[in-house]
Amino acid sequence: MPFWSFTYFMDANSPSMEQMIFFHDHSMMMMISIILFLMLLNYYIISNNFLNFYMKENQLAETMWTITPMFMLIIIAIPSLRLLYLLEEIFWPDITMKIIGHQWYWSYELSNFEIIFDSFMNASHSQFNNWLHLDTDNSINLPLNSSLRLLVTSMDVIHAWTIQSLGVKTDAVPGRLNQINMFSSRPGKYFGQCSEICGMNHSFMPISLNITSMETFNKWMKIMLKSLCSLNKSLSLLSCKMQTCYSEYLKYPL
């Protein structure tokens, strides 16, 4: 959870976010070391009136200040490339969720169960435990310790589906389907927001995600299926198909 005047990352709740924080600390350590060395070198030069009477030409020094930056860049580049390929690695997903950005709300499709619903910002600020401009009327529920595949797109302009503590940030581009893998290692309620300026109400399309146990996720699935059936009685064929799909899913728990 972010705090006022908090300048560091939020607590990592996924392996990918842990690797991002590690790479950030590694890069900062290298940059701080370089800055301290340059400050010390500048102090030494200034204290000697910008002159050195004992060194007019030094081949070894020229070689060292050419090779040393190259090795430092390699030390930074290797973890960066490793992290880049790690984030793009897609495992066989347990659940696939399609995310569609609109002006200015999100739509979610659970492809395994053919469930579709919209998520708007919660307009009521008088309710107890309601997070201002972060909570939604329909929160997503996903199981803990499961491989999740997210397919992100948009219906109008460019959006960005972002949850910082899970290390997830994917652009929602019209006509393009972006894919990202997500794995949460801790249960809880996570908030995010659109991270791409998308119009007048850009700051009013939050993301609310609940990472729960498999039992709680199954209960939420049953509630969603019942609510969809009660909304439209004419969708009996579709509801039977969803119930069959859900029953098959329960035979193979994650």
Report DSSP letters for 89-146, one per residue: -----SEEEEEEEETTEEEEEETTTTEEEEE-B----SSTTPPTTT-BSS-EEEETT-
- Asked whether residue 175 falls in the same domain as residue 72, the answer is no
Which of 31, 55, 87 is a domain's end point? 87
Query: What is the C-alpha separation between 120 and 217, in angstroms, rounded?
Result: 21
The better pLDDT of the pair 1, 107 is held by 107
The answer as to whether 155 is a domain residue is yes
- Asked whether residue 134 falls in the same domain as residue 38, the answer is no
The answer as to whether 3 is a domain residue is no
The answer as to whether 174 is a domain residue is yes
- Asked whether residue 244 falls in the same domain as residue 145, the answer is yes
Closest by Cα among 197, 249, 204, 202 to 225: 249
- In this prediction, residue 158 carries a pLDDT of 92
Average pLDDT across the chain, whole number: 80
Q: What CATH number should be reported for the domain holding residue 160?
A: 2.60.40.420
Q: What CATH number should be reported for the domain holding residue 82?
A: 1.10.287.90
Which of 87, 119, 138 is a domain's end point? 87
- Asked whether residue 139 falls in the same domain as residue 243, the answer is yes
- Asked whether residue 108 falls in the same domain as residue 190, the answer is yes
**pLDDT single digits (tens) 62-77:** 888 889 889 989 999 9
- Asked whether residue 171 falls in the same domain as residue 148, the answer is yes
Residue 84 has pLDDT above 80, yes or no: yes
- Asked whether residue 30 falls in the same domain as residue 101, the answer is no
Which of 87, 112, 134 is a domain's end point? 87
For residue 185, what pLDDT band results from cuts at 50, 70 and 90? confident
For residue 167, what pLDDT band results from cuts at 50, 70 and 90? confident
For residue 48, what pLDDT band results from cuts at 50, 70 and 90? confident
Domain extent at residue 73: 15-87
The answer as to whether 129 is a domain residue is yes
Residue 159 has pLDDT above 90, yes or no: yes
- Indicate the SS3 state at residue 185: coil
For residue 146, what pLDDT band results from cuts at 50, 70 and 90? confident
Answer yes or no: pTM beyond 0.85: no
- Looking at the structure of the chain, the number of domains it has is 2
The answer as to whether 5 is a domain residue is no
- Asked whether residue 103 falls in the same domain as residue 148, the answer is yes
The answer as to whether 120 is a domain residue is yes
The answer as to whether 4 is a domain residue is no
